[in-house]
């Protein structure tokens, strides 16, 4: 929740005339339905989500549809594998003192994962993007919720690619239960783990880009 607020604060600074309101799908308040029903004008629901999985495809549209409002409400696409976010991920790795030219480094990207193979395949595109412009030995993706693509198996793949120093790069926006689980794996395996993407300026820029594109479509409709 703190990271979400930090992103919202950045958005307010970057676009001071934009009415930015936080809403949550579960576990925190205010809820999305409560915020939407309180509006007196059109709105763009902009998901602070990396993957187009259940929350974005099912949960969020259902809550939007359930709102009793006469206002025009649109839903923007998720943040996805945006190049700006990948650049933040690369920066998180180098913040550990990793040179972009170090060919002994392997990066284990860990994402949440979903039951939809197509969504996981899209997340897998982060690895080659992350390697671009570096001399790192390799990068591979594992999903924290998928036993069949476990962290240990992904670590083994990097070792076979002759990575002597492995860094875990969490494809998460903020700390939480799953990142904590990944951190415990890293500690047990004796490898380093970078910070999540957080509320970096480029995260906020990506959110604004999704909002602006959908808002323009809403006006043109």
- CA dist 54 and 172 (Å) reads 16
User: Given this structure, which CATH class describes domain 1-79+200-220?
Assistant: alpha beta
- Cross-sheet strand order for the sheet of 138-143: 138-143, 105-111, 165-170, 192-193
Query: Is pLDDT of 209 > 80?
Result: yes
- pLDDT in the model for residue 219: 77
Q: Which of 28-37, 124-133, 168-177, 183-192 has the lowest mean pLDDT?
A: 28-37
What per-residue confidence (pLDDT) applies to 150?
83
Q: Which CATH class is domain 83-189?
A: alpha beta
pLDDT at 29: 85
Q: Which pair of structure tokens corresponds to residue 19?
A: 């009415």
- Binned at pLDDT 50, 70 and 90, residue 41 comes out as confident
What are the start and end residues of each CATH 3.40.50.1400 domain in the chain? 83-189
The two three-digit tokens of residue 151, written as one number: 């962290």
Closest CA to 102 of 146, 138, 51, 144: 138
- pLDDT confidence tier of residue 10, bands split at 50, 70 and 90: very high
Angstrom CA distances, 139 to 40, 151, 156, 189, 216, stand at: 47, 13, 12, 17, 37
The DSSP H or E segment spanning 75 is strand 73-75
pLDDT for res 147: 58
Instruction: Give the mean model confidence (pLDDT) for residues 106-110.
Output: 97
Burial tier of 28 (Cβ tally within 10 Å: 0-12, 13-18, 19+): exposed
Query: For residue 82, what pLDDT is reported?
Result: 98
Which residues does 62 contact at the CB level (< 8 Å), separation at least 6? none
pLDDT at 148 over 60: no
Q: Give pLDDT, residue 159.
A: 94
Give, for 102, the enclosing helix (H) or strand (E). Answer: none
Q: How many C-beta atoms lie closer than 10 Å to residue 150's C-beta?
A: 14
C-alpha closest to that of 7 among 113, 85, 92, 111: 85
> For 65-73, what is the mean pLDDT?
77
Read off the DSSP letter of residue 39.
-
Residue 69: the pLDDT is 64
Provide the Cα torsion 33, 37, 40, 42; round to 10°: 40
pLDDT for 221 equals: 64
Contact 103, 114 (CB under 8 A): no
> Beta 105-111 vs 138-143: how paired, if at all?
parallel
């Amino acid at each position: 929740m703190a990271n979400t607020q930090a992103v919202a604060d950045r958005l307010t600074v970057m676009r001071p005339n934009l009415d930015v309101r936080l809403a949550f799908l579960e576990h925190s308040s205010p809820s999305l339905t409560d915020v939407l029903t309180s509006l007196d004008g059109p709105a763009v629901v902009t998901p602070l989500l990396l993957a187009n999985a259940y929350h974005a495809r099912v949960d969020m549209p259902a809550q939007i549809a359930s709102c009793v409002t006469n206002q025009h409400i649109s839903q923007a696409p998720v943040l996805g594998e945006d190049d700006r976010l990948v650049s933040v991920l690369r920066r998180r790795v180098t913040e550990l003192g990793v040179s972009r030219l170090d060919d002994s480094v392997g990066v284990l990207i860990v994402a949440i994962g979903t039951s939809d193979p197509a969504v996981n395949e899209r997340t897998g595109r982060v690895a080659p993007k992350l390697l671009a412009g570096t001399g790192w030995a390799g990068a591979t993706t594992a999903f924290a919720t998928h036993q069949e693509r476990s962290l240990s198996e992904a670590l083994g793949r990097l070792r076979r690619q002759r990575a002597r120093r492995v860094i875990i790069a969490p494809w998460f926006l903020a700390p939480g239960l799953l990142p904590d689980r990944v951190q415990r794996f890293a500690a047990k395996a004796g490898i380093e783990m970078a910070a999540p993407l957080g509320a970096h300026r480029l995260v906020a820029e990506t959110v604004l880009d999704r909002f602006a594109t959908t808002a323009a479509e809403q006006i043109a409709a």
